[in-house]
Structure 1
Amino acid sequence: MTVTTDPTPPAPPPPGDGDALAPFGYPQELRRRMGRYASFAAGFSFISVLTTVFQFFALGYSFGGPLFFWTWPAVLVGQLLVAACFAELASRLPIAGAIYQWASRLGTPAFGWYAGWIMVTGRIVVVAAAALALQVVLPAVWPGFQIVGGDPSPTTPSGAANAALLGLVLLALTTLLNVLDNRALSAVNTIGVTAEIGGVVLIVALLATHAEQDPGITLHTGGQGGLITALLVGSFTAAYVLIGFESASEMSEETVNPRRTAPRTTLTALTTSGVCGGLLLLGGLLSAPSLTDGRLATEGLGYVLTSTLGDGLGRILLADVTVAICAATLAIQTSATRMLFSMARDGVLPRSAALARVPRRTGMPGTAAVVVGVGAALLLLLNLASPQAFLAIGTTCIAMVYLAYAMVTGPMLVRRLRGEWPPPADGERDELGRPLFSLGRWGLPVNALALAYGLFMTVNLAWPRAEVYDPEGGHWYFQWFTVLILAATVATGAAYRWYRRRRETPEHGSAAHPEPATVRV
């Protein structure tokens, strides 16, 4: 297939035309059934404030104390800048594998390949991290879920081992759903999101009636280290929670009216999650029985619920959190599967034909789903080796996602400075005949700030702080885990591309695999 950098995008199909992929040279293989709420659910389930706030509240509090609350709105604003750029792209390039496709068309096919490779690897790590979150809530719901025995805290050897076992069971179920039909997948996501939103509203309302502290406590540090360290490490909680909003765009090939729906559900999912998560953090801080007994820094919000609301009601709410964790793991695996499918469809991965296969019976890229599930399961085994793997896995996946985001906003900014983005809007309309989503005159400052924020957070997350990643000492590889995994991901990708180019040289007699289909923006 021909690769071109023509800045003029293919004209969108006329309103009502269901063949939205024809201008990009792809056939419609995935089944286009998702409505607006299901599209919103894809993004909201990936973010899953109940899953991630419960999972990382203790980390943020242990370093930042109550002051870490203010890192939440700061990260939310930064991510909204990124999401606004992505919404503009989603309206013009409604294709599965969004990050890979966008980076390829804004930059070069090689640059886009690395963005997709980093994102796929990061997403697989995110799947593993989400599955590990079951350990934070299930043993608190019922002690019988602590199969291994011993201390259920994820930071202990027994808790870490049990987390891996629970995670493996969950991955088996989510992989099965990703192999079946997208109606079942969409239904589970929708149910999960509805339960999660209801749970957030109920938890926030109940915590508000049991407030023990004054809002002024959010101006106190009380964590480890100085103020700057408290804020930088405290921001990990918000950074981990507020990712994955672009999943609505990842599902564009399965969404009805994607040019209109995906941009709006991308922004709506992030905004809704930002408000819900901020209220959860504030409610947990204000209603905590004690801010100084050390339990907030080790047990997080689970401790607040069971201590404040009583074991009975607290366990019911934690069961709702369990539903959210399952839906989140499913949504993240689905998003990773679409990215892998999109790259394989262009023939740029090993075993591309198998990974890109979509059986007519299911309309789902089942082989890609299995690869993602197996990859995440292998990562879970690290938790058996050491409880410190939990934090290393979590922060690594966030850093990789942030870097992949910057690999989209970066070339997008270059295009803007050249006057090549956004492309001419003459006659461009969405499926309902309305103008495409656009940042207008705010595009340049929003894009520049989004890139700067993304690069800053990538460095912040990957910085090898011994007090964060190796507090007990003796595990240098966990201290450098994020840097090592990023380097290994890039090196592995470079080695594969070198091997592929070598096989494609005339003396080896192999036909070249195509780069992404007609790369145009």
Structure 2
Amino acid sequence: MSGSPAARASNATDHDAEQLRALGYSSNFDRSMSLWENFSLGFTYLSPVVGVYTLFGLCLAAGGPPMFWSYLLIGLGQLLVCLVFGEVVSQFPISGGVYPWARRLVGKRWAWMVGWVYAWALCATIAGVAIGAGPYLAAMLGFAPSSNANIYIALVLILLSTGLNLVGTKLLARVAMFGFLCELVGAILVGGYLLIFERHQQFSVLFDTFDININGSYLPAFLAASLAGLFQYYGFEACGDVAEETPNPGKRIPKAMRMTIYIGGAAAMFACLALILAVPDMAKVIAGEDTDPVSTILANAFGPVGSRLVMAVVMVSFISCVLSLQAAASRLLFAYARDEMIVGSSLLKRLSANQVPSIALIVSGVVPALIVCLGLFMADAVATIVGFAAIGIYVAFQLIVIGALIARAKGWRPSGQYTLGAWGLLVNIAALAYGLGAIVNMVWPRMPDAAWYINYSMILTTVVVMGAGLLYMLLAKPYDKGTAPAGDAWELSRSGSHATGRATSQGFQQAQ
């Protein structure tokens, strides 16, 4: 190693810029996000506390304590997707995540549709998480929750997130890091206390179905309860959304993605385990008599004051989750606009003096706020739109997994600093099989007494979003306006040109 730390950092930044230029872009983002800060962005987006606490009661009632194992199984499945993403982002570390990856793997039309679906899914997720914060703030401050109060709280939360994001990447990284520490420490302390002092169930309860069955079989009930895990394990892709704000992204971002799955998944499983074993009366939860077991557990364990302190930690998790989601959405819009793929591109691709896409950030706050405001007039409509959040993200994920398979079939051989080598194709196929199975499980109708449009709401919203996107794409042809490279992943492999991978990797190592 030679030179001062400042000189080495400058050389590393120069090599990152050189790699980006080789990919056809230049960037004015501030590359100030460390590995742990990048990971924190993915962790707070995944948010174990938000995911577990929000769905715990519903899924425990649906499948009983064995719902715990869905976190492990789905975590392994999402890890396969994460590994595929790691190979792609390592070679194409471009802001915007799934959109630029799809563009390089397959082409402009494929990328446009991926970006369209993912953008709407992110906006719906922001709205859903913001609305979900309402009951926890009400519990913390001691007032009765209501649908209108939840809407007003959500709007304030989105406004706060937008303001924090507009300050710049450094504040985003610090808030994400603070959120990660609060959430992890909170999960460990609360979970540890529950396990040591408030355990009402034996560990064997994790294998007790309590005679829950659907048409004589427990499997459908377990699959319904597994929605807890399905709604939990995404967020790792957000690490790649800020690729141009992270030094040495080809190496750091795949690692941060895997860390998000490992640490986020472990934290979620620990929180879920602690809550299950702390349920005072499991039969009441399964019978539907205790519809909010989380509040029951926390009130019994910590009393009025202590439970409010726990709710304060939960609120930090909600705030940091919305912040990370909005950061991901704004970088996607920025990447879309930089390639002239969307109306208002000249505004959306602008970076402010703080080196953030300010207009894109505002749009990624306004759209979720409008979705939230629909709740003042059409509560069912908001629930349907928010229900699209998870399925939309899973669809976008699988479009990338399929895109990677298409590129491999054409001859693409990943050449970034992170590759799976000979295992790449097998992992890619396994990720596709898992993802398709997860999507089928999510959209499967489970309320035979409900109206058909409620049972099939996820399918309907997905068809509407993708149909509208396809129609707009065919009529306006937005993909034809930009000149950025597209569909060239396999050509780089065929020509032996690995400037985006090995050459830049060697240069960075020299800078070290």
Give the TM-score normalised by structure 1.
0.86
Equivalent-residue separation in structure 2 for 1:74 and 1:333 (angstroms): 28
Amino acid across the alignment from 1:311? P
Alignment equivalent of 2:226, drawn from 227, 232, 235: 235
Residue 378 (structure 1) aligned with residue 378 (structure 2) = no
Equivalent-residue separation in structure 2 for 1:392 and 1:169 (angstroms): 22
Equivalent-residue separation in structure 2 for 1:300 and 1:212 (angstroms): 13
1:221 is matched with which residue? 209
Equivalent-residue separation in structure 2 for 1:310 and 1:131 (angstroms): 26
* Contact 2:96-2:334 within 8 A present in 1 as well: yes
Equivalent-residue separation in structure 1 for 2:453 and 2:153 (angstroms): 25
* Contact 1:289-1:308 within 8 A present in 2 as well: no
**Percent of aligned positions that are identical:** 28
- 1:300, distance to aligned residue in structure 2 (A): 3.8
Equivalent-residue separation in structure 2 for 1:54 and 1:322 (angstroms): 11
Equivalent-residue separation in structure 2 for 1:183 and 1:224 (angstroms): 51
- 1:67, distance to aligned residue in structure 2 (A): 1.8
Residue 494 (structure 1) aligned with residue 494 (structure 2) = no
**CA deviation vs aligned residue, 1:17-47 (integer Å, no higher than 9, x gap):** 2413111111112221111111011100100
Equivalent-residue separation in structure 2 for 1:452 and 1:395 (angstroms): 23
**CA deviation vs aligned residue, 1:291-335 (integer Å, no higher than 9, x gap):** 122378621423322222322222211110110110001101110
Residue-pair matches, total: 472
Q: Show the 5 A alignment for 1:277-296.
A: 277-294=268-285
Equivalent-residue separation in structure 2 for 1:385 and 1:228 (angstroms): 38
Uncovered stretches (5+) of structure 1, i.e. residues with no partner: 1-12, 147-151, 153-158, 429-435, 505-511
**CA deviation vs aligned residue, 1:411-447 (integer Å, no higher than 9, x gap):** 212333454222xx5xx6xxxxxxx111122212211
Equivalent-residue separation in structure 2 for 1:61 and 1:394 (angstroms): 21
Distance change >3 Å, CA 66–CA 394, structure 1 → 2: farther
Q: Show the 5 A alignment for 1:8-19.
A: 17-19=15-17
- 1:498, distance to aligned residue in structure 2 (A): 2.6
* Contact 1:135-1:163 within 8 A present in 2 as well: yes
Amino acid across the alignment from 1:221? T
Equivalent-residue separation in structure 1 for 2:306 and 2:429 (angstroms): 46
Residue 193 (structure 1) aligned with residue 185 (structure 2) = no
1:513 is matched with which residue? 481
Equivalent residue of 2:64, what SS?
Answer: helix
* Contact 1:284-1:301 within 8 A present in 2 as well: yes
Equivalent residue of 1:400, what SS?
Answer: helix
1:463 is matched with which residue? 444
Q: Show the 5 A alignment for 1:177-326.
A: 177-209=164-196, 210-222=198-210, 225=214, 226-294=217-285, 298-326=291-319
- 1:364, distance to aligned residue in structure 2 (A): 1.0
Give the TM-score normalised by structure 2.
0.87
- 1:229, distance to aligned residue in structure 2 (A): 2.2
Equivalent-residue separation in structure 1 for 2:97 and 2:470 (angstroms): 21
Distance change >3 Å, CA 391–CA 239, structure 1 → 2: farther
**CA deviation vs aligned residue, 1:40-84 (integer Å, no higher than 9, x gap):** 111001001111111111221121111211111110000011111
Alignment equivalent of 1:161, drawn from 148, 154, 178: 148
* Contact 1:395-1:461 within 8 A present in 2 as well: no
Residue 50 (structure 1) aligned with residue 38 (structure 2) = no
- 1:279, distance to aligned residue in structure 2 (A): 0.9
Equivalent residue of 2:464, what SS?
Answer: helix
Amino acid across the alignment from 1:383? G
Distance change >3 Å, CA 176–CA 260, structure 1 → 2: same
Distance change >3 Å, CA 107–CA 50, structure 1 → 2: same
Equivalent-residue separation in structure 1 for 2:444 and 2:393 (angstroms): 15
Alignment equivalent of 1:447, drawn from 405, 424, 428: 428
- 1:257, distance to aligned residue in structure 2 (A): 1.4
* Contact 1:170-1:326 within 8 A present in 2 as well: yes
Residue 135 (structure 1) aligned with residue 150 (structure 2) = no
- 1:99, distance to aligned residue in structure 2 (A): 0.6
Distance change >3 Å, CA 394–CA 272, structure 1 → 2: farther
Equivalent-residue separation in structure 2 for 1:196 and 1:417 (angstroms): 42
* Contact 2:47-2:264 within 8 A present in 1 as well: yes
Equivalent residue of 2:173, what SS?
Answer: helix
Uncovered stretches (5+) of structure 2, i.e. residues with no partner: 1-10, 490-512
- 1:463, distance to aligned residue in structure 2 (A): 2.7
Equivalent-residue separation in structure 1 for 2:76 and 2:61 (angstroms): 23
Distance change >3 Å, CA 457–CA 339, structure 1 → 2: same
- 1:202, distance to aligned residue in structure 2 (A): 0.4
Residue 484 (structure 1) aligned with residue 468 (structure 2) = no
* Contact 2:99-2:332 within 8 A present in 1 as well: yes
Equivalent-residue separation in structure 2 for 1:199 and 1:242 (angstroms): 19
2:100 is matched with which residue? 101
**CA deviation vs aligned residue, 1:366-415 (integer Å, no higher than 9, x gap):** 11111111111122134345665675444421111111111011121233
**CA deviation vs aligned residue, 1:206-229 (integer Å, no higher than 9, x gap):** 111121111111222345735222
1:59 is matched with which residue? 58
Amino acid across the alignment from 1:172? L
Distance change >3 Å, CA 309–CA 14, structure 1 → 2: closer
1:6 is matched with which residue? none
Equivalent-residue separation in structure 2 for 1:165 and 1:487 (angstroms): 30
2:496 is matched with which residue? none
Structure 1 runs (4+) deviating above 4 angstroms are: 13-16, 385-391
Equivalent residue of 1:17, what SS?
Answer: helix
1:352 is matched with which residue? 345
Distance change >3 Å, CA 139–CA 251, structure 1 → 2: same
Equivalent-residue separation in structure 2 for 1:291 and 1:235 (angstroms): 18
* Contact 1:58-1:299 within 8 A present in 2 as well: yes
Structure with the larger helix share? 2
Distance change >3 Å, CA 100–CA 500, structure 1 → 2: same
**CA deviation vs aligned residue, 1:242-295 (integer Å, no higher than 9, x gap):** 111111111111011111110101100111010010011111011111112237
Residue 416 (structure 1) aligned with residue 369 (structure 2) = no
1:508 is matched with which residue? none
Distance change >3 Å, CA 320–CA 174, structure 1 → 2: same
Which sits farther off after the overlay, 401-410 or 485-494? 485-494
Equivalent residue of 2:236, what SS?
Answer: coil
